[in-house]
Amino acid sequence: MPNPRHAMIEKVARAIAASNGRDDWVSFAATARAAVAALREPTVDMLEAALPDSPDWGYLPEEWKAMIDHVVDEPIN
């Protein structure tokens, strides 16, 4: 189990490695970055799940993109 203070990319890479029966998560870092980057544009369903019955999502789409951009750009410790 990764340390909660580790970079999110490391957490995703570890999950991908584990799903492939592997321990060498570092070799999955690029795949993890690509997977997270694919989430950059939230879907309408995602926005509705965050703010159900809201007629306006406000800054939520931009905040989501900022969080994803941060994860994609963060270094692996």
Q: Residue 2: is its pLDDT beyond 60?
A: no
Q: What is the pLDDT of residues 3-18, one digit of tens each?
A: 666 799 999 999 999 9
Q: What is the pLDDT of residues 15-65, one digit of tens each?
A: 999 999 999 999 999 999 999 999 999 999 999 999 998 889 999 999 999
Q: Residue 1: is its pLDDT beyond 60?
A: no
pLDDT for res 4: 65
pLDDT for res 55: 86
DSSP assignment of the chain: ---TTS-HHHHHHHHHHHHTT-S-GGGGHHHHHHHHHTTSS--HHHHHHHSTT-S--TTHHHHHHHHHHHHHHPPP-
Secondary structure letter of residue 74 according to DSSP:
P
Which residue do the tokens 């995703």 mark? 12
Retrieve residue 74's tokens: 């963060």
